[in-house]
Structure 1
Amino acid sequence: MGMSVIIRSYTGTIEATCCHPALDALCHQAAQAGLPGIGNVDKYDDTVFNRSQLRLVIPELTQLSLSTPALVAEAAEAVLELARTIERLSHRYLVFNGD
């Protein structure tokens, strides 16, 4: 199974999921670009971002959606949609589930 990204509530409920096939490539591109948020996602374990940390992650995802190949840009847009959902809510986390 590949990497996935979820919205998780503070109670542990999964509210949304993204299983785009280019998530691993997205994180690799972010690491290559030296991005401190998405570039440091652990591809073998969970990486959790809270609503406050999304102030770092959202601009990175926006940058990646504009500057990467189409499939990776699609993955960035899919994750960006989840991140923007969390911006409007409280007690939610963006969780990258490693492989």
Structure 2
Amino acid sequence: MGISVRVVEYTGQIVTEGGDIGAVIRATSSDAAQYPLLAGVDEYDDTTFNSRQAAMLIAELEQLTAVTDDRNLHEAIAQLITLAKLLVPAPRRPHHRRLVFNGD
């Protein structure tokens, strides 16, 4: 099972893409109370987050980083945090970006 992720402008233009982050989703899918956004990512369809949700997603990812020792998982989490931060409003950055998880 592969889950890729990309940052997309409101116009549909792809800003950037990340690799397979399925390990992150598998690590959080059974704990919706602890990781409500990550546990809600659909493994078989697209799941989209907006900039407000991205801030909460970053907090969930940082929390996961603190409780795992898996180096590969840390790398995938770091990649997701980098992508999610591209949704945070900043000068000269479009405000209508989305983070799209693409399930198989």
Farther off after superposition, 35-44 or 81-90: 81-90
- What letter matches 1:5 in structure 2? V
Alignment of structure 1 residues 1-99 onto 2, 5 Å: 2-20=2-20, 23-34=21-32, 35-68=35-68, 69-88=70-89, 89=93, 90-99=95-104
Q: Greater share of helix residues, 1 or 2?
A: 1
Cα displacement (A) at 1:95: 0.5
2: CA distance between counterparts of 1:44 and 1:37? 16
1: CA distance between counterparts of 2:39 and 2:18? 18
> How well do the aligned residues superpose, as a CA RMSD in angstroms?
1.5
TM-score when normalising by structure 2: 0.85
Structure 1 unaligned spans of 5+: none
TM-score when normalising by structure 1: 0.89
2: CA distance between counterparts of 1:9 and 1:84? 14
Larger Rg: 2
| Pairs aligned (count) | 97
**Superposed CA offset, 1:8-54 (max 9, x none):** 0101011100013xx11101111233310011100100000000111
Structure 2 unaligned spans of 5+: none
2: CA distance between counterparts of 1:2 and 1:27? 10
Instruction: Indicate the SS of the match to 2:44.
Output: coil
1: CA distance between counterparts of 2:76 and 2:27? 11
2: CA distance between counterparts of 1:64 and 1:18? 19
- What letter matches 1:87 in structure 2? V
Runs of 4+, deviation exceeding 6 Å:
none
2: CA distance between counterparts of 1:65 and 1:84? 16
